[in-house]
Structure 1
Amino acid sequence: MWSSGNLPPVFFCIYSPFLDFSVNGAAYSDEQSIFQKALCCELMRSFGVKITSNNDEVDVEAGRTEKDRGKAFRSKRVLTIHNQALLSGLAYCFSSCSMILVNKYVLSSYDFNAGISLMLYQNFVSVVIVSFLNFCGIITTEPLTWRLIKVWLPVNIIFVGMLVTSMFSLKYINVAMVTVLKNVTNVMTAVGEMYLFNKHHDNRVWASLFLMIISAISGGFTDLSFHAIGYTWQFINCFLTASYSLTLRRVMDTAKQVTKSGDLNEFSMVMLNNTLSIPLGILLIFVFSEVDYLSKTPLLESPTFWLVITFSGFLGLAISFTSMWFLHQTGATTYSLVGSLNKIPLSIAGIVLFNVPTSLENSASIFF
């Protein structure tokens, strides 16, 4: 649950005309009218926010407590947001959809042939933003220790592999087919949870997974822009993505035991992932000979290009945070399945924005 002390700053920016809370949850000012209080409560309730008092429940419509309707609002109220799983899932879907489209735009429209370098820059932007927010006291992150790094390093290697293979597949495959083929990830994740964590799924889950496999197979057979290298990278990406979601949840619990506070929030995990990925990314740049390409490409002299990839860095931070947040609220299979909710709008957007040739049969595979 979120309290008033750790709600996102954007929440207070939106509702600042209606709110008179201090960081520690101070009471409404005496000058505020009952109408303003009730309006504030209604706005927050529409976002799934519930106002509770240390003593009583609040009657939102009248602005009075249930036990004593004649009393004014109590002090030290706490803001909590319910249905965090739903909220985090929607945020994850939106950021994931945006990230795929922007990466495809950079790699294809700009014909940028350094996907690892793009990933490295995005991770660098994420580290800078989180460090700045931590320095300003807006968020808190756990200090990096060798014990924490050793626990987190295996999942970080998978994370880097997942990002790199995603870049390579997007270079060769259109957005619609990337989203369709990601259905394979859901099946791998469900099977992995069954064998690794002894978690059983009901028939409805398996039925939906079966339809997703049909979608992936039919999409591949009817893809007018089929590229064997791109499909190979995408299937590797599916395996690494499933491994990442299965491994991350277990590592989350283990990592908490080696932190100084005994906890590990989402921003700390984002900081860990992106910081550790930078040296790995630098190594891969030399392995795949991207240094020569970067020294010759004129794109690095374009301010517009830098603006676009910097924006993609902000999206990288968003998807890192929302994926951690959502996986914290749910299981690996749910995380994987919800990630497929953006398949239809993302596929349509990819076909329209990038003028992808398609057929009726291939388009039908998107709707499975």
Structure 2
Amino acid sequence: MKKSQSGLDYGLDFQQSSGFQVDSESKPLLPTHNPGGTAVRHTQQSNGARISSKGHVPASTGVTTRTDRSTIAASRAAVISGVLYSISSAALTLLNKKVMVHYDFTAVHALLCFHCALSVVLVRACSLMGWAEVEPLSWELVRIWMPVNLIFVSMLATNFYALQLVGVGMVSVLKNMSSLFIICGDYALFQRAYSWHVWACLVLMVGSVFSGGVTDTNFSWLGYTWQMVNNVFTAGYALYLSRVTERVSTHTHEHRPLNQLSMVYYNNMLSLPLTLLLVLLHMEFVGFWKQEALYQPSFQALAVLSGLCGFAISLSSIWFVSLTTATFYSLVGSFNKVVVAAVGIWWFGESTELRNLASIAAGLIAGTLLPFVKMRSGARSRSTQ
């Protein structure tokens, strides 16, 4: 059977292409090559002894080697990237909900267009400062990347539609359904098999969605439908992106895979005409400047902050997954849903009916268990090969 190129295995694919290596217990990464080469390094010790030319250090000397410093640096980077990923991903959902619901802002596509434009400006700023290199636009790359971009815009837009109509708690549970679509896509496209434990978690997720919908006092057929459509686009984005990144590497300037900053740039630059088209189709330009929210400093600040969070999660997610295992990356995302659901229920005063809360809790627990179960299933399959 072929190995999956999506979902929880994405981190493993990134490790192979980036030259980083992660162990099976989510420990920090070190580069796969020795950054110090074979150079002889002598360090003066307090007792007058020297480290041998082979680099052996007595355990009692307490001398910090280059590898020790690299390990510490990698650990700190993993913590920083994980915290940034957690904060930005949680804040993005909560801020988008606040902007659209609290301020009664109806120009959803205009807000999406603003977020894309802000990300393009930030990417160009990073490039001008020399922090990272951005792959220049070319018609060949645009042609290959456009299907991904269509899915990307659809994913963002449907997420806005769902947040307008569904509470944050139930959105967090419904988002777990994207795992079901990804796993089904893995099976259909890559012939990947899963153990019954994985399917049991998925059944629990589906059950929590049904029970949550029945007990949701603010149930909306349209809102739930939009979130399920969003899950389909999310799964499609995860499954299709890996195929496109393989193809696009042969058309880049130096025939190498696109870095994350270039992906962010292409996604958002190509999204601008698409989001502008949505603005025109929905006639949002009519009466746009009459919306009172536009002239409130608090709305302006939240709109900019949510755009910054969208940019931050794009970069921090790839940074974080390159410094840890794919399972740990998914686990942090699952715990994030718990935080978002709890804060959202409190912040927006959503329903606290006991049966609905129990359904939300069951769905979040199933989503948190899934990475563990999938990891153990993968370990068993490798041991039998």
Bin of the TM-score, shorter chain as denominator length: 0.7 to 0.9
Most deviating of 135-144 and 99-108: 135-144
Higher fraction of helix: 2
Which one of the candidate residues 48, 56, 72 is aligned to 1:67?
56
TM superposition shift of 1:318: 1.5
Within-5 A mapping of 1:313-352: 313-324=307-318, 339-352=333-346
- Rounded to whole Å, the distance in 2 between the matches of 1:168 and 1:229 is 9
**Partners of 1:156 and 1:273 within 8 A in 2:** yes
Residue 104 of structure 2 is matched in structure 1 by: 111
Which one of the candidate residues 252, 261, 266 is aligned to 1:267?
261
- Rounded to whole Å, the distance in 2 between the matches of 1:58 and 1:187 is 53
Structure 1 counterpart of 2:271, one-letter code: S
Q: How many residues are matched?
A: 323
* SS of alignment partner, residue 180 of structure 2: helix
Residue 242 of structure 1 is matched in structure 2 by: 235
- Rounded to whole Å, the distance in 2 between the matches of 1:307 and 1:260 is 38
TM-score by length of 1: 0.77
Structure 2 counterpart of 1:157, one-letter code: L
Residue 303 of structure 1 is matched in structure 2 by: 297
Deviation digits for residues 105-147 of structure 1 (CA, Å, limit 9, x no counterpart) = 1011111111111111111111111101101111111111111
TM superposition shift of 1:282: 0.3
**Partners of 2:159 and 2:227 within 8 A in 1:** yes
- Rounded to whole Å, the distance in 2 between the matches of 1:90 and 1:222 is 34
Within-5 A mapping of 1:1-368: 53-55=36-38, 66-67=55-56, 79=70, 81=74, 91-261=84-254, 262-324=256-318, 339-368=333-362
- Rounded to whole Å, the distance in 1 between the matches of 2:233 and 2:210 is 20
TM superposition shift of 1:303: 2.6
Alpha carbons of structure 1 residues 362 and 57: separation in structure 2 relative to 1, 3 Å = farther
If asked which structure has higher relative contact order (CA below 8 Å, sep 6+), I would say 2
- Rounded to whole Å, the distance in 2 between the matches of 1:350 and 1:174 is 8
TM superposition shift of 1:320: 2.1
- Rounded to whole Å, the distance in 1 between the matches of 2:40 and 2:189 is 43
Runs (5+) with no aligned partner, structure 2? 1-13, 16-26, 363-385
Structure 2 counterpart of 1:285, one-letter code: V
Identity %: 38
* SS of alignment partner, residue 269 of structure 1: helix
Structure 2 counterpart of 1:203, one-letter code: W
What CA RMSD, in Å, does the superposition of the two structures yield over aligned residues? 3.7
- Rounded to whole Å, the distance in 2 between the matches of 1:91 and 1:309 is 19
Alpha carbons of structure 1 residues 243 and 75: separation in structure 2 relative to 1, 3 Å = closer
**Partners of 2:216 and 2:356 within 8 A in 1:** yes
Deviation digits for residues 70-114 of structure 1 (CA, Å, limit 9, x no counterpart) = 9x9889999473799998676544422211000001011111111
Most deviating of 196-205 and 46-55: 46-55
Runs (5+) with no aligned partner, structure 1? 3-45
TM-score by length of 2: 0.74
TM superposition shift of 1:55: 3.0
Structure 2 counterpart of 1:54, one-letter code: G
- Rounded to whole Å, the distance in 2 between the matches of 1:154 and 1:209 is 29
**Partners of 1:106 and 1:309 within 8 A in 2:** yes
Most deviating of 271-280 and 313-322: 313-322
Structure 2 counterpart of 1:120, one-letter code: C
Deviation digits for residues 154-201 of structure 1 (CA, Å, limit 9, x no counterpart) = 011000001001101101111001111112111011100111122222
* SS of alignment partner, residue 238 of structure 2: helix
TM superposition shift of 1:210: 1.7
- Rounded to whole Å, the distance in 2 between the matches of 1:300 and 1:81 is 43
